[in-house]
Structure 1
Amino acid sequence: EDLAPLLVGRDPREIERNWQILYRHPFFKGGAVTMSAISGIDQALWDISAKDLNVPLWRILGGLARDRVRMYDHLGGGNSDAVYNSDTVSSFEEKMKQSIKDGFTAVKILAVPQSAPLGDAAKLRHAGELMATARRAAGPDVDIMIDFHGRTTAAMAIQFAEVLAPYKPLFLEEIVPPDQHEALKRARAKITVPLATGERLLHRTEFLPLLEDGLIDVAQPDVCHAGGITELRKISALCDTYGVTMAPHNPLGPIATMVNVHLGLTTPNFLIQEVMRSDVSWRSEVFSGVPEIKDGHIYPPTSPGIGVEMDEKEAAKHPFVSGNPVQWFHNDGSVADW
């Protein structure tokens, strides 16, 4: 509602100018709420522009930079309980085998539990057991990524990395909270496993200090929060300058997934794409054109625009339902990052 008057009457195909208006004309720039709104509008403008030319989105993003996009699964297919609460060895083994059976060659796990700021030997031991189980179930050739979810201090991140490194993870994700630049520096100096972060960063200027200080190997901006397609292309180009690859954050639905696929198809320094497969039973009633994942990859779509369409009448049957906020506390009652 705040941004709509800025664009009413303008040509939707003037994507860059429209983006600049949305970002620069509000007096208070940026922030998660505004950037998320800009992201949604921007994706719609790109969809309109591609449909106006009757071509798939990847065509107007510069054409193909690769033949297919490699996808990675979440443990349990992305079911939130499986992702955040699968803390037993048996559940890790079962769900890892299912992802491999479904054709994925890469899987993300949260093997790092909530831990104390320092000296949590039991949690370190448990993380090692979970990762050992995941590696045995996956075999030596499947890539495993480990999401720390910004839960740990630099000191604990270093210790967890020492425990997990022998199992050859592809990367460690968000090892410290995203606002702790100096903590990331300290951890980076001690950790040899590739590091990824960026899902809570909203603009290329927030990635620049990480790149200048050599703190990340993989950037993970979210197309639904970091300014949409327009800004992600700029973040990707900036990262490419520093030899950093892209693995966009995507815990969302089929439209966001498809937008990321188009970006992956056209981005030279793209690495791998996150997907959440387990969401709601009525997804197929609301969305059409959702691509099939074949052998862990998605191939270039041929439909005009983004390629996934939403039935708004069906969607209206499933109104937003607010969930309980996530709250974590340490054993002594102090507040913990989750």
Structure 2
Amino acid sequence: MRIDRIRTLRLPEHANLVHVLVESDDGVSGLGETFIGAAAVEAYIHETVAPALLGQDPLAIEAHARRLSGVLGRAGAGVESRGNSAVDIALWDLFGKVTGQPLYQLLGGRSRRAVRIYNTCAGYGYTRGAGTGVGSDNWGLDEAEPPGPYEDLQAFLTDAGTLAESLLEQGVTAMKIWPFDTIAEETHGQEITTTQLRAGLEPLRQIRERVGDAMDVMLEFHSMWSLPAALRITAAADEYRPYWYEDLLPTQELDGLRRIADRTRTPLTLSETVAGTTNFRRLFASGAVGIAMADVGWLGGVTAARKVAAIAESHGLPIAPHDCTGPVVLATSAHLSAHLPNGFLQETVRAFYTSWYRDLVVELPVIADGTITPSDAPGHGIELQPDLFSREDAVLVESRR
């Protein structure tokens, strides 16, 4: 069996998303995905990855991962790392189909049948436009009428208590919000006034007032703050018992992150933006991390994710896979969360899961009663909707041997 064809698919309405299909000469296909810089990733895959992989054994996954890492993409989750991640996911999916086994079984079996989820409180249009999605200009709040009931970003900005009640009614007991981001944009993250601090804490106050401690609340900061401002925020926010502080500073600022970790009783979660096992090893060894996070579509795919999880486990850290990007990453992450001995929590976005994720793929892992269960189908268990390939606006590129 040899890799015969590699295809990529992009759709303008999902400007950040690119899907990769790796196909063998006996007709088996694996599906991968990554997010941000989709056109650049597409070019990298066809210019660099395809010449390296076409004609090769698709089941030599570890060898391919090592070869593709080369000297590129090691310092962060850049184009090379994201492209390699998508291809690696596709190779594992293909491996599962060849053997007739679900991904969690290929990895060594389940550690748990279902995994607790948290809801990242994005809305339907969040990060749909091109770009990184960090700034409020890409929050997608300019639609006159949301397409469904889960415009959760607007909800946490205006009535976080009612939003928490809505999630609890579905059995979801954890939620992630980022109420300080617009303040960071105003001050470039260099300072925060007492008035601004009170405004940023208001959603937490509303949640605690409405539902008490029934809801765990994660605070996301998108690496937008300076050390003094971050210390001021955490000192005030600790009162509301947040579940974690995520990416308060850029991850290369390890000394500052360690100073914050030493002064707060709330664990720091780091970091979806890191790629490569060496970088994660340094991050965990710094002592700043309380909870590990990794994105399988950015850090190097399944091959890298399980190694990063093992490094985290050696430091006594649990790991919570990231997904605020696409349905293939969610499905793959669900398998990892179910398998990994230190997996314990899976990120989801109900606005995505109930809308455009379903437009792209045939099946999704089951979410019910506040948990997610990976598919028992071979590989990660999902396929793209067949009609995507015939859409007039579809950007399809293929490389053949």
Quote the Cα distance in structure 2 between the aligned partners of 1:36 and 1:214.
27
Give 3-state SS (helix, strand or coil) of 1:12's partner: coil
CA RMSD of aligned residues (A): 2.2
Give the CA deviation at 1:285. 4.0
1:44 aligns with 2:118: no
1:11 aligns with 2:57: yes
Quote the Cα distance in structure 1 between the aligned partners of 2:394 and 2:153.
22
* Paired AA for residue 308 in structure 1: I
- TM-score, with length taken from structure 2: 0.74
Return 279-288 or 152-161, whichever deviates more. 279-288
- Equivalences for residues 1-338 of structure 1 within 5 A: 1=46, 2-24=48-70, 27-30=71-74, 31=76, 32-75=78-121, 80=126, 81=141, 88=157, 90-113=158-181, 114-115=183-184, 116=187, 117-279=190-352, 281=355, 283-314=357-388, 317=391, 319=393
What fraction of aligned residue pairs are identical, expressed as a percent? 29
Deviations 1:124-167 (Å, cap 9, x if unpaired)? 11122221112233431221111111121111111111221122
Q: Report how many aligned residue pairs link the two structures.
A: 318
Quote the Cα distance in structure 1 between the aligned partners of 2:172 and 2:275.
29
1 or 2, which has the higher strand percentage?
2
Pair 76,285 (structure 1): closer, same or farther in 2 beyond 3 Å: closer
Give 3-state SS (helix, strand or coil) of 1:269's partner: coil
Deviations 1:76-100 (Å, cap 9, x if unpaired)? 5675245666564x43223222222
Quote the Cα distance in structure 1 between the aligned partners of 2:262 and 2:161.
32
Return 66-75 or 221-230, whichever deviates more. 66-75
Structure 1 residues not aligned, in runs of 5+:
322-338
Pair 96,201 (structure 1): closer, same or farther in 2 beyond 3 Å: same
- TM-score, with length taken from structure 1: 0.87
Whether the 8 Å contact between 2:224 and 2:248 is mirrored in structure 1 is yes
Pair 188,315 (structure 1): closer, same or farther in 2 beyond 3 Å: farther
Quote the Cα distance in structure 1 between the aligned partners of 2:322 and 2:63.
26
Whether the 8 Å contact between 2:388 and 2:394 is mirrored in structure 1 is no
Structure 2 residues not aligned, in runs of 5+:
1-45, 127-140, 142-150, 396-401
Give 3-state SS (helix, strand or coil) of 2:213's partner: coil
* Paired AA for residue 175 in structure 2: V
Give the CA deviation at 1:284. 2.9
* Paired AA for residue 62 in structure 2: E
Whether the 8 Å contact between 2:274 and 2:294 is mirrored in structure 1 is yes
Quote the Cα distance in structure 1 between the aligned partners of 2:322 and 2:124.
13
Give 3-state SS (helix, strand or coil) of 1:278's partner: helix
* Paired AA for residue 262 in structure 1: H
Quote the Cα distance in structure 1 between the aligned partners of 2:237 and 2:314.
30
Quote the Cα distance in structure 1 between the aligned partners of 2:348 and 2:221.
18
Pair 66,102 (structure 1): closer, same or farther in 2 beyond 3 Å: same
